Structure 1
Amino acid sequence: MLLKTFRVTAILEGISYLALFGVTMPLKYWAEIPEPNKVVGYAHGVLFIAFVILALLVCINKKWGIKRFVIFGIASLLPFATFYVDDKYLKTAS
């Protein structure tokens, strides 16, 4: 159940990252429409924190070690990387 929750969170975090920087930031700065940025920004912040906490819990639970946790941490900062993490590490672990 923990792994499934982490997988869903990873996908949602990746989507929120792309929505924040690909959609709502341009709306905020180019079209001067800041409201969507605030909502998506809060959602992305919550999902980011959940992703990091769940990454730690899953790494502890699966005894994966610090290297994989660092990979997950870096993935949380890069566009599309959470989708890669899901495909490479999480899908095969379930």
Structure 2
Amino acid sequence: MAAEPTVASDRLPRALARRVGQGVPAALLRYRVMAWIVGVLLVALILVAVPVKYLAEIDEPVAVIGTAHGWLYAIFFVTACDLALRARWTLKGTVLVLLAGTVPVLSFVAERVATRKTRAGERV
């Protein structure tokens, strides 16, 4: 007796439903690490690299730190979206956390709030 072939789109909703809510602690750890990395790089970019660029006319720190922040923000974006799906965050909370990664120091505040609420089982 051969198994009936299934279409990939038939498996997607069930696979997503199984994944949502599972693996939250690991996803939270990944999110926290990336939030701190992106936050530190953004602070370094704004408080160190940009003044060096304009006061000492050295462009390299902005190019290096800015590029690193940009690429790592993309990873942060993916980890935050992964956590948002697993922990069932609201759309508003997810968007606010993602935007917080673009504002110096605010990423640290958003990380603490998101961590506290996620660990308590609340929606962000």
Q: Out of 33, 42, 48, which is 2:73 matched to?
A: 48
Identity of aligned residues (%): 32
Counterpart in 2 of 1:93?
A: 118
Partners of 2:117 and 2:85 in 1: CA distance: 17
Give the number of aligned pairs. Answer: 94
- 4+ long deviations beyond 3 Å: none
Contiguous gaps of at least 5 residues in structure 1: none
Map 1:1-16 onto structure 2 (within 5 A): 1-16=26-41
Cα shift readout 1:61-82 (whole Å, capped 9, x = no counterpart): 1111202111112212221111
Counterpart of 2:108 (choices 63, 83, 89) is 83
Structure with the higher helix share, 1 or 2: 1
The CA distance in 2 between the partners of 1:27 and 1:21, in whole Å, is 10
In the TM superposition, what are the counterparts of 1:59-74 in structure 2 within 5 Å?
A: 59-74=84-99
1:29 aligns with 2:18: no
Normalised to the residue count of structure 1, the TM-score between the two structures is 0.89
Aligned AA for 2:87? K
Larger Rg, first or second structure (1 or 2): 2
Of stretches 27-36 and 4-13 in structure 1, the one that deviates more from structure 2 is 27-36
| Alpha-carbon separation, structure 1, partners of 2:29 and 2:74 | 17
Amino acid at match of 1:57: D
What TM-score do the two structures reach when normalised by structure 2? 0.69
